[in-house]
Chain A
């Protein structure tokens, strides 16, 4: 085998590929061939590094040099300077936003310092399309050990002791779930991987499948062996073409190597995996709705009990776990439950992946030990709020979660603390908001999503959420009353209590948590007819400051409804009755003479 001096790792996640990372790969190959360096240097496409803000990412090993925002035209310089002359290309290095210094390697970047990558251990490290790299990094070792020991109950026992809880949102203990499925009898039990990631802004499951598909396959086979199932199904949304492609390659390779199919690793145990495609309905992330959808029915949840562990897919005992949960399992079995349970808080063990989005400097995918505080995530890993603005709130748990404020910044994040603060873990979406975000509008945004995604089976969710959305629209338009605020609260509680599945039971959370934490803002909308953040269009009022206006006429010429009057070199005025609040004048004024009230 050729002995390479350097490995060039290129991020092949969906985000970086959208910014031409596959072109970068091709470019490197061409240059290396031209310079006859292909024997010395290997170019590898990996999964997501997580630092999507600064993609495409190129990492040079063994130097650990981390290049950001690389363009295909930069490849020649990287080869000539870094590889041939041994000098790093400074302009492509990450610049610390505070010290303004270039950071050479990823170990010294604030973004990575606090992270502990367990579920994402192979993302950005191995080539997801090469099973050999997975094997070289302890891949399928856990499965081989499990099959060698021939003790399925011991696997379940280990998981129970590890304290692993479902990463899809519910936080149900995984070991217990497996135990139920193992105890129930059935002709053909099923193992289902829930890859129907629906939270807006969350993309950890996609990144794991794109960056390390074999870990999910390995964990599913272990799952099958532990509960006595020979058939696995991966329910993945069809909008994830790259994840599906890599998953298919991985399944073929696993079959070829004997990790899937008949008589796995000579143990006599057989297991197969099939991919099922979802059409991208949020409710299908709920396990009973997911099973309905897999059976070819409408994706609607059913009553629990019976739980899927008793009667799931085709009426058989079925175990459903989320992608991230599966990604933890091979490591737990390899390193032992003691190791895993030493990470995290008392009731939440291990790490959690969060998709950090919104108004933070370092948008991306991060993994931290449970118990890390919001402050550490937002200000140390996330690098603080964009453009030096003030932090206002962070939304966790997607449309089912709630908003947390300044006062929650030092709360240690785990399943229970988040619930106690009126939010939830969810699948790990984390959207940061600054002073320019209106909390009423945010609640409205999430409700819009829920109204769209409600399956319509039960009345409180189908109609209740629509009414909630209407009231919020009314408030944002400046027509809200104090009575509406009472209605919001009452209706929210009814929807929570009376809905059938998790979608309805949690959909009013964004409303309730913003009412609790930002009551003043609701009052400002209702009583003063003002939007303090200046977001709600109907409540905005553009005015021209007479002292600052020089009469350049730019605003009047750009106004689409001709509602600005004024002579040349004279102060201009906005006719408020005609103004549609489009903000064109505000954007065009070079003298900062137009203000939003």
Chain B
């Protein structure tokens, strides 16, 4: 390992190492990050939720957006799998259905980055106990 020779050098090194812990870092403060939950039940997985999740993680990284992508159990919208729930800091969560690769990219580019709603929103018919 090459020795670190200055403050600037250290900062550069830190930048390149950030990805080692940023997943944990964000999780400590979920409210201020975009949180995406991918429904990963049997029906979700069968409809390609795993691939959707991979695409989401990859796209968030590409856009350098600090997001927390987690998987969750069945949300009950089995007809519209894969389903994802997107919660931007300070706004209500929105559920999108039929999220394949293209849709995932569209959601990030339109809704997440530019606040433009896209097709495929499922009206939430549940409350989560966290919101009470």
Q: Do A and B bind each other?
A: yes
Interface residues, chain A, CB within 8 Å of chain B? 1, 3-7, 9, 61-64, 85-87, 125-126, 132-133, 135-141, 144-145, 147-148, 256-259, 265-266
Identify which of B1, B11, B68 contacts A62 (C-beta below 8 A): B68
Residues of chain B with a CB closer than 8 A to A136's CB: 14, 17-22
User: A147 CA to B13 CA in the complex, in Å?
Assistant: 17
Which 5 pairs of residues, A with B, have the shortest CB-CB distance? A258-B3, A86-B71, A62-B27, A136-B17, A86-B40
Which B1-41 residues have a C-beta within 8 angstroms of A? 1, 3-7, 9-11, 13-14, 17-28, 30, 38-41
Q: Is B73 in contact with chain A by the CB < 8 A criterion?
A: yes
Residues of chain A with a CB closer than 8 A to B84's CB: none
User: A277 CA to B9 CA in the complex, in Å?
Assistant: 35
User: A3 CA to B59 CA in the complex, in Å?
Assistant: 12
Residues of chain A with a CB closer than 8 A to B71's CB: 86
- Contact, CB under 8 Å: A5 / B53: yes
Shortest distance from the beta carbon of A108 to any chain B beta carbon, whole Å: 9
- Contact, CB under 8 Å: B23 / A4: yes
Shortest distance from the beta carbon of A175 to any chain B beta carbon, whole Å: 23
Inter-chain contact total with CB atoms closer than 8 Å: 97
**Max chain A C-beta neighbours (<10 A), residue from B1, B18, B69:** B1
- Contact, CB under 8 Å: B23 / A266: no
- Contact, CB under 8 Å: B40 / A132: no
Quick one: closest A residue to B13, CB to CB?
A135
Quick one: closest B residue to A146, CB to CB?
B7
User: A144 CA to B11 CA in the complex, in Å?
Assistant: 9
Q: Is B57 in contact with chain A by the CB < 8 A criterion?
A: yes
Shortest distance from the beta carbon of B87 to any chain A beta carbon, whole Å: 13
User: A378 CA to B21 CA in the complex, in Å?
Assistant: 33
Given contacts A139-B14, A265-B6, 19 further A-B contacts (CB under 8 A): A1-B20, A5-B53, A62-B23, A85-B40, A85-B73, A86-B38, A86-B40, A125-B21, A133-B21, A141-B14, A148-B6, A148-B7, A258-B3, A258-B5, A259-B4, A265-B5, A265-B7, A265-B10, A266-B6
Shortest distance from the beta carbon of B40 to any chain A beta carbon, whole Å: 4
Residues of chain B with a CB closer than 8 A to A266's CB: 5-6, 9
Residues of chain A with a CB closer than 8 A to B4's CB: 140, 257-259, 265
**Max chain A C-beta neighbours (<10 A), residue from B19, B24, B68, B70:** B24
Q: Known contacts A62-B26, A257-B3, A265-B5; is A86 also within 8 Å of B72 by CB? A: yes
Shortest distance from the beta carbon of A554 to any chain B beta carbon, whole Å: 50
Shortest distance from the beta carbon of A289 to any chain B beta carbon, whole Å: 38
- Contact, CB under 8 Å: A126 / B19: no
Residues of chain A with a CB closer than 8 A to B11's CB: 141, 144
User: A256 CA to B11 CA in the complex, in Å?
Assistant: 17
5 contacts between A and B (CB under 8 A): A62-B68, A86-B41, A141-B10, A265-B6, A265-B7
Shortest distance from the beta carbon of A310 to any chain B beta carbon, whole Å: 34
Which B70-95 residues have a C-beta within 8 angstroms of A? 70-73
Residues of chain A with a CB closer than 8 A to B26's CB: 62
User: A137 CA to B19 CA in the complex, in Å?
Assistant: 10
Shortest distance from the beta carbon of B111 to any chain A beta carbon, whole Å: 20
- Contact, CB under 8 Å: A1 / B19: yes
Q: Known contacts A61-B23, A265-B4; is A132 also within 8 Å of B17 by CB? A: yes
Shortest distance from the beta carbon of B45 to any chain A beta carbon, whole Å: 8
Q: Known contacts A61-B24, A135-B17, A136-B18; is A5 also within 8 Å of B69 by CB? A: yes
Residues of chain B with a CB closer than 8 A to A125's CB: 21, 24, 28
- Contact, CB under 8 Å: B7 / A147: yes
**Max chain A C-beta neighbours (<10 A), residue from B17, B30, B39:** B17
Quick one: closest B residue to A267, CB to CB?
B6
Identify which of A64, A132, A145, A147 contacts B20 (C-beta below 8 A): A132
User: A85 CA to B41 CA in the complex, in Å?
Assistant: 6
- Contact, CB under 8 Å: A5 / B40: no
Shortest distance from the beta carbon of B123 to any chain A beta carbon, whole Å: 23
Residues of chain A with a CB closer than 8 A to B72's CB: 86
User: A145 CA to B22 CA in the complex, in Å?
Assistant: 23
- Contact, CB under 8 Å: B57 / A133: no
Quick one: closest B residue to A82, CB to CB?
B71
Residues of chain A with a CB closer than 8 A to B13's CB: 135
User: A4 CA to B30 CA in the complex, in Å?
Assistant: 18
User: A595 CA to B120 CA in the complex, in Å?
Assistant: 72
Residues of chain B with a CB closer than 8 A to A137's CB: 21, 25
User: A266 CA to B58 CA in the complex, in Å?
Assistant: 38
Quick one: closest A residue to B19, CB to CB?
A1
User: A132 CA to B10 CA in the complex, in Å?
Assistant: 11
Q: Known contacts A1-B19, A265-B10; is A257 also within 8 Å of B1 by CB? A: yes
Residues of chain B with a CB closer than 8 A to A3's CB: 19, 57-58, 61
Residues of chain A with a CB closer than 8 A to B1's CB: 256-257
**Max chain A C-beta neighbours (<10 A), residue from B38, B71, B72:** B71
- Contact, CB under 8 Å: B20 / A86: no
User: A259 CA to B10 CA in the complex, in Å?
Assistant: 10
Quick one: closest B residue to A83, CB to CB?
B71
